[in-house]
């Protein structure tokens, strides 16, 4: 009989009673066939592979990460709390030593959810990876974390949350933003002033197949990871890069995904997108599970696979070869603030950037001004002012983990002052130094 080389915990939670709308891609049926496939293959009978129930994230777990307006309950349904809780369970299983690796096969996804949340963007409300990362930091003292986002869409939410964090390396492999939602994720986007080179974007041309993905993994992702030496590697395992996906244009196969997973050796994988629920998900998820557990995945093959039809065009390899020559430089010799797309400029002690954000799922427009206090002793105080078509002026103040006394004082003063002046409809304070999460509404 089989025995897993790496013991693997799978948090399987298909949320069979939740959907965005009855015919939306993010609906009840999404993981049904995956469940059928995993059950029929007898995955959970394999020695060392276990299925676990997700935990439920608390309000505080969310508030540690996001500014939610007007409040957590308004933007996160119970399903979001369970998905986020699922990723935390995955982290707990690995940190406690119960399993070597874990896969949170949960829905809905989260990698488009940014620091500030007013509603749903790209089917995401709560950034489930970020909730897990801050859970790892808060409860297990982990510091250096790498997130490799292989979803076909740019993980703009995760990028936004860790834009200023030099201890989180965010690498996203996605279909070129000129051809797909959300239209971002270019190489010049490489992090804020104190975290340059800690955001790496690898835009892949439409039609990229297994070879192209492997090239990017071997020549860009792996050398950077080796140098960064993260304590935990997380894979945002979206599966919409599969050749059958209805809303994207890539050519990755289940075999390719399993191979990628084997190379990456992530400690924790988290399901993100992937809407070819019959033709791709059952096989890709089986491939990921087997690969993570160190089992033979060579027999996994999706019915629609055609080696000739799904081969990558030669021009793509040529283009990618050039890209792969240039991209590692972004990490090893990051460009100056002026050369990168930082989206902002330095004004005195502060780095200021303006963002216009559209919440496509909920139809909300947001105008945001984010200010980071450029501090030499800590990550720096963060202040975000946001106005939307839904909520009037909102203020978010974040005193970062391990904040210096000055940033802490200043943050507390800012929050107090904002309440006194009544310039904002809602104020939220994330005080990681004192584990204090406050909100105030007028």
Partner 1 sequence: MYLGIDVGGTHTDAVALDESGIAAQAKVRTNHQDLLASVNQALEGILAAVPAQSISQLNLSTTLSTNAIVQGTLEDVGMLVVPGPGISADDFMLCRDYHVLKGSIDHRGSEIERLDTAQAQGAIDACRKKGVRVFGCVGKFSTRNPLHENTLRQMLGPDGAGADSVTLGHELGGRLNFPRRLATAYFNCAVWRVFGAFADAVEKSLERLGLGHVRVNTLKADGGTFPLAQARKMPVQSIFSGPAASVMGIIALCDINHDSIILDIGGTTTDIAVFVDGQPLVEHDGIDIGSHPTLVRALKVHSIGIGGDSAISVLGEAVRVGPNRLGPSQADCVELGCACAADARPTLIDALNCVGAASHGNVEASRQAIGQFARCHSISPEVLAASAVEAASEAIFKATRELLDEINDKPVYTIHELLEGRRVVPKRVYLMGGPAQAMREAVRQRFELFTVVPEHFDVANAIGAALTRNTASLELFADTEKGVMFIPALRHRENVPRNYSLKEAERDALNHLLAHLSEMGVFADRDNAQVNNASSFNMVSDGVTTGRNIRVKCQIKPGVAFALTGPSQTTAGR
Active-site residue set: 112
CB of 404 to partner 1, least distance (A): 41
Distance in Å, CB of 422 to partner 1, minimum: 38
b/e for 11-24, b at 16 or more Cβ within 10 A?
A: bbbbbeebbbeeee
For partner 1, give the closer residue by CB, 308 or 420: 308
For 235, the 3-state DSSP assignment is: strand
Contacts to partner 1 by CB under 8 A: 1-2, 12-18, 22-23, 27-29, 32-33, 35-37, 39-43, 45, 51-54, 56, 78-79, 82, 246, 278, 282-283, 286, 290, 295-296, 298-303
Consecutive H or E run containing 345: strand 344-347
Name the minimum Å distance from CB 5 to partner 1: 14
SS3 for 66-134 is CEECCCHHHHCCHHHHHHHHHHHHHHHHHHCCCCCEEEEEECCCCCCCCCEECCCECCECCCHHHHHHH
Element housing 405 (H / E): helix 405-421
Minimal distance, residue 401 CB to partner 1, in Å? 30
CB nearer partner 1, residue 1 or residue 308: 1
User: Which of 6/389 has CB closer to partner 1?
Assistant: 6
DSSP state of 318: H
DSSP bridge partners of 200: 171
Cβ closest to partner 1, residue 51 vs residue 416 = 51
Distance, CA of 408 to CA of 375 (rounded, Å): 11
In angstroms, the first-to-last Cα distance of the chain is 63
Q: Which is nearer to partner 1, 91 or 171 (CB)?
A: 91
Token output for 211: 């070879």
CA distance 392 to 412: 22
User: In whole angstroms, how close is the CB of 285 to partner 1 at the nearest point?
Assistant: 12
Provide the minimum distance between the beta carbon of 38 and partner 1 in the complex, in angstroms, as a whole number. Answer: 9
Q: Which is nearer to partner 1, 292 or 316 (CB)?
A: 292
Task: Check: CB of residue 268 under 8 Å from CB of residue 100.
Answer: no
Residues forming beta bridges with residue 252, ordered by sequence position:
242
User: In terms of CB distance, is 56 or 375 closer to partner 1?
Assistant: 56
Quote the tokens at residue 372: 């980071």
Compute the least distance from the CB of residue 272 to partner 1, in Å.
Answer: 19
Alpha carbons 82 and 95: distance in angstroms, whole number:
19
Reduced to 3 DSSP states, what percent helix, strand and coil does the chain have, rounded to the nearest 5? 30, 25, 45
């Amino acid at each position: 009989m089989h025995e897993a080389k790496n013991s693997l915990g799978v948090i399987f939670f298909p949320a069979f009673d939740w959907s965005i709308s009855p015919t939306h891609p993010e609906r009840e049926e999404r993981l049904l066939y995956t469940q059928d496939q995993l059950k029929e293959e007898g995955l959970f009978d394999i020695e060392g592979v276990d299925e676990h129930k997700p935990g439920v994230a608390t309000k505080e777990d969310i508030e540690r990460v996001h500014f939610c307006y007007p409040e957590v309950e308004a933007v996160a349904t119970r399903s979001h709390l369970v998905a986020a809780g699922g990723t935390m369970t995955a982290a707990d299983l690995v940190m406690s030593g119960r399993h070597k690796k874990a896969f949170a096969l949960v829905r809905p996804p989260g990698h488009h959810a940014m620091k500030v949340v007013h509603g749903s963007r790209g089917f995401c409300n709560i950034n489930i990876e970020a909730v897990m990362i801050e859970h790892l930091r808060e409860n297990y003292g982990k510091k250096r974390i790498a997130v490799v986002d292989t979803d076909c869409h740019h993980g703009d939410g995760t990028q936004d949350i860790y834009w200023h964090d030099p201890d989180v390396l965010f690498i996203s492999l996605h279909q070129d933003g000129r051809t797909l939602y959300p239209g971002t994720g270019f190489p010049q986007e490489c992090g804020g002033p104190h975290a340059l080179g800690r955001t790496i974007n690898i835009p892949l041309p439409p039609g990229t197949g297994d070879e192209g993905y492997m090239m990017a993994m071997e020549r860009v992702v792996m050398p950077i990871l080796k140098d960064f030496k993260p304590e935990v590697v997380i894979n945002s395992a979206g599966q919409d890069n599969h050749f059958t996906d209805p809303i994207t244009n890539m050519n990755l196969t289940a075999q390719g995904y399993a191979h990628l997973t084997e190379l990456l050796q992530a400690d924790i994988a988290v399901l993100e997108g992937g809407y070819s629920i019959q033709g791709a998900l059952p096989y890709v998820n089986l491939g990921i599970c087997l690969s993570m557990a160190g089992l033979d995945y060579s027999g996994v093959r999706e019915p629609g696979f055609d080696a000739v039809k799904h081969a990558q065009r030669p021009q793509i390899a040529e283009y990618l070869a050039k890209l792969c020559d240039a991209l590692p430089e972004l990490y090893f010799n990051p460009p100056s603030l002026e050369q990168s797309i930082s989206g902002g400029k330095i004004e005195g002690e502060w780095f200021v950037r303006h963002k216009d954000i559209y919440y496509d799922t909920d139809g909300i427009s947001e105008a945001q001004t984010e200010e980071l206090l450029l501090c030499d002793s800590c990550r720096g105080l963060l202040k975000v002012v946001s106005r939307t078509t839904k909520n009037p002026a909102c203020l978010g103040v974040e005193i970062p983990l391990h904040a210096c006394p000055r940033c802490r004082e200043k943050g507390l003063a800012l929050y107090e002052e904002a309440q006194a002046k009544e310039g904002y409809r809602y104020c939220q304070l994330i005080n990681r130094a004192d584990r204090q999460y406050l909100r105030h509404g007028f």
